[in-house]
């Protein structure tokens, strides 16, 4: 039977690149995004790859929206095999004491609550059906401290803890949960951050031993590997993909 994957934030960046790579393996894809234009365009391209694809608009910070995309997946495909829990935002890039409370709440709502809601509803189905594979989106800011991203970093450290603890509870039920921790990567979210903080791009590139930003496709290769059956004995890991950035800290 054809397998099915959910990709949140699948309309652009790493989510989009991962959806395309999963589709190349013949996997049906559910694209979850807040941007209708991006989400619908991703589905159009996926269908050209001769896989079945569905777009569900959702604000992942709202549990009802998360439940909706999970229910839509089950209604259309009857199964969830893979889940890339990817949707997130970085914030404005200011120093923490200059950050408005509303921005803190927004980042926590999307990056942390959205991730928790996702695994809550998806893992429930996976465990009932004998297992499945989840990859959570962490960050280099989830494994080391970085300036101008205090709230973002807090949410990504939390995603790391969530990943490890889910495995402690549910690996026995066939659940695999891993996380990826990209360093600075050429995505729309990172571009917006660097546009707002141009001095940070040069600083970031200088601080990466490979002297360049990563690409969405490079991260998608790792996510696809971790999600699929080739990685059955990798569980509870947080895999860094950052050109040596965090190793140099």
Tens digit of each residue's pLDDT (9 = 90 or more) over 4-23: 999 999 999 999 999 999 99
Q: What would the mean pLDDT of 62-76 be, rounded to a whole number?
A: 98
**Ordered DSSP codes for 138-153:** --GGGTS--TT-HHHH
pLDDT value of position 187: 83
**How would residue 203 be classed by pLDDT, with cut points 50, 70 and 90?**
confident
pLDDT value of position 156: 98
**How would residue 205 be classed by pLDDT, with cut points 50, 70 and 90?**
confident
159 has a pLDDT exceeding 90: yes
**Ordered DSSP codes for 43-77:** HHHHHHTT--EEEEE--TTSHHHHHHHHHHHHHHH
State phi, psi for 174 to the nearest 5 degrees. Answer: 90, 10
**How would residue 115 be classed by pLDDT, with cut points 50, 70 and 90?**
very high
In DSSP terms, 56 is beta-bridged to 32
pLDDT value of position 59: 98
Q: Which of 94 and 224 is assigned the larger pLDDT?
A: 224
Q: How far apart are CA 31 and CA 22, in angstroms?
A: 12
**How would residue 96 be classed by pLDDT, with cut points 50, 70 and 90?**
very high
CA 83 to chain centre: 9
248 has a pLDDT exceeding 90: no
Q: What would the mean pLDDT of 164-189 be, rounded to a whole number?
A: 94
Q: Model-level pTM greater than 0.85? A: yes
8 Å CB contact between 87 and 39: no
pLDDT value of position 62: 98
pLDDT value of position 238: 98
The CATH number, out of the four listed (3.40.50.720, 3.30.1330.10, 1.10.620.20, 3.40.50.1820), of the domain defined by the range 4-248: 3.40.50.720
pLDDT value of position 202: 74
Q: Is 152 labeled as catalytic in the residue annotation?
A: yes
> Which one from 117, 152, 170, 193 is the annotated catalytic residue?
152
List the chain domain ranges.
4-248
Q: What is the dihedral of CA 64, 238, 127, 27, to 10 degrees?
A: 80
């Amino acid at each position: 039977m054809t397998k099915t994957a959910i990709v949140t934030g699948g309309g652009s960046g790493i989510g989009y690149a991962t959806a395309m790579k999963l589709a190349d393996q013949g996997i049906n894809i559910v694209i979850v995004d807040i941007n209708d234009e991006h989400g619908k365009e991703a589905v159009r391209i996926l269908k050209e790859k001769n896989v079945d694809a569905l777009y569900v608009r959702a604000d992942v910070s709202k549990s009802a929206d998360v439940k909706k995309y999970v229910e839509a997946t089950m209604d259309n495909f009857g199964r969830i095999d893979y889940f890339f829990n990817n949707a997130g935002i970085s914030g404005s890039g200011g120093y923490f004491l200059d950050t408005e409370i509303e921005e803190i709440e927004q980042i926590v709502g999307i990056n942390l609550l959205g991730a928790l809601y996702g695994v809550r509803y998806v893992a429930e189905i996976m465990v009932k059906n004998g297992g499945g594979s989840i990859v959570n989106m962490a960050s280099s800011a989830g494994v080391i401290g970085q300036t101008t991203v205090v709230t973002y970093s807090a949410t990504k450290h939390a995603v790391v803890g969530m990943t490890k603890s889910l495995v402690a509870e549910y690996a026995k039920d066939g659940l695999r949960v891993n996380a990826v921790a990209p360093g600075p990567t050429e995505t729309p979210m990172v571009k917006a951050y660097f546009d707002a903080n141009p001095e940070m791009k040069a600083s970031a590139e200088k601080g990466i031993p490979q002297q360049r930003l990563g690409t969405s496709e490079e991260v998608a290769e790792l996510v696809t590997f971790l999600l699929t059956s080739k990685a059955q004995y990798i569980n509870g890991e947080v895999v860094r993909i950052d050109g040596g950035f965090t190793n140099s800290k």
